[in-house]
Structure 1
């Protein structure tokens, strides 16, 4: 499953077949295709799915179909490549903990966010940047930060291309998710 299969594909019938099958009266025009979901809504929906799955580390093979609905092909491929490298590490180092097996990869904080909201975005024809306010914990002990989700419009659907980590504390994920996956 990928985000592209979520899009309804309109089939244009052959003009001659359409004319022969058309009733004498004009048929109502088809409803316009729905507008692409906003980048902000796509990110919030993704984080909701990610939180519900409760994944730590790389998503497992069973979870990837859910992730693929939100990820650009390049990021989904990078996750699959990291999973292959993780399995190779496990095979060659059976007594060691493999890389990327723990912690939230989609945010700066190891534990991941408890709550999140879009803080603003910039959008052009095919790219979007969505700043997310994220929080883990309650009260004075809560950790708050802002990460940035990078999206592309792919076949009419916003998909997540990368995550820029914004956490400033020691041991926060740094740089971009795509860089982390290449390690």
Structure 2
């Protein structure tokens, strides 16, 4: 029942037309503003993901949803162990939720964008704050700019490495045996292909090319009419 409610919320937010015309930079700014206001660093919940899903690409929403389900199964099987992704912030490479952020360069190339975001943590004992920069990958999907991955930068010593999608994939494709996790669930988490109309046209072109390349069977040649009477 819980998964059905979560799936319904995700579908509702994914179809929401809110801020459909926002730029890549606006997408990143609004996402992290919401994260710092309402988000908690730790294993994500269905409600957390529903709140953020309108800023995320479908394949990332799918992977995060799979991470939630795996985390639930892991906790049931190993209640004494810390959940996967516990005590970390998946959306930045620091060890905890950042205190603040600021956006830097934002470069767009066709339907892809890279926006740099600098995060900072407040250190104790009046020490200087710790800063690091991550790169946010934003993709244009059906006229909407959505975050498709987060490349972790040079954060603190205990910061995450790689990227968000890589981290999710590494954990979910190497599950703990006790969790009885079915890796095949990730088969649905694929990057959106070309728009349906373009894909349909491409298939039609392939069919036409295939049909035209087939050799038509040659008609039987008619026997030539006799040129004259046979000689006796």
Q: Give the aligned partner of residue 124 of structure 1.
A: 109
- Which is higher, the Rg of structure 1 or of structure 2? 2
Q: Give the aligned partner of residue 68 of structure 1.
A: 53
Q: TM-score, structure 1 length as denominator?
A: 0.79
Once the two structures are TM-superposed, the CA of residue 171 in structure 1 deviates from its matched residue by: 1.4
Q: TM-score, structure 2 length as denominator?
A: 0.63
**Matched residues in 2 for 1:161 and 1:148: separation?**
11
Change (3 A) 1:142 1:7: closer
Is 1:5 matched with 2:10? no
**Does the Cα contact within 8 Å between 1:58 and 1:79 map onto a contact in 2?**
no
Q: Give the aligned partner of residue 19 of structure 1.
A: none
Q: Give the aligned partner of residue 185 of structure 2.
A: none
Among 87, 97, 100, which residue is 2:85 paired with? 100
**Matched residues in 1 for 2:73 and 2:144: separation?**
34
Once the two structures are TM-superposed, the CA of residue 78 in structure 1 deviates from its matched residue by: 0.6
Structure 1 residue ranges (4+ consecutive) displaced by more than 6 angstroms after TM superposition: none
Which structure would you say has the larger RCO, counting Cα contacts within 8 Å and 6 or more residues apart?
Answer: 1
Considering fraction of residues, name the structure with more helix.
Answer: 2
Structure 1: where are the runs of 5+ without partners? 9-33
Q: Cα RMSD (Å) of the superposition? A: 1.9
Among 119, 139, 142, which residue is 1:152 paired with? 139
**Matched residues in 2 for 1:126 and 1:49: separation?**
24
Q: Give the aligned partner of residue 31 of structure 1.
A: none
Once the two structures are TM-superposed, the CA of residue 97 in structure 1 deviates from its matched residue by: 1.0
Structure 2: where are the runs of 5+ without partners? 1-11, 172-232
What is the aligned residue count?
A: 157
**Matched residues in 1 for 2:18 and 2:94: separation?**
32
Considering fraction of residues, name the structure with more strand.
Answer: 1
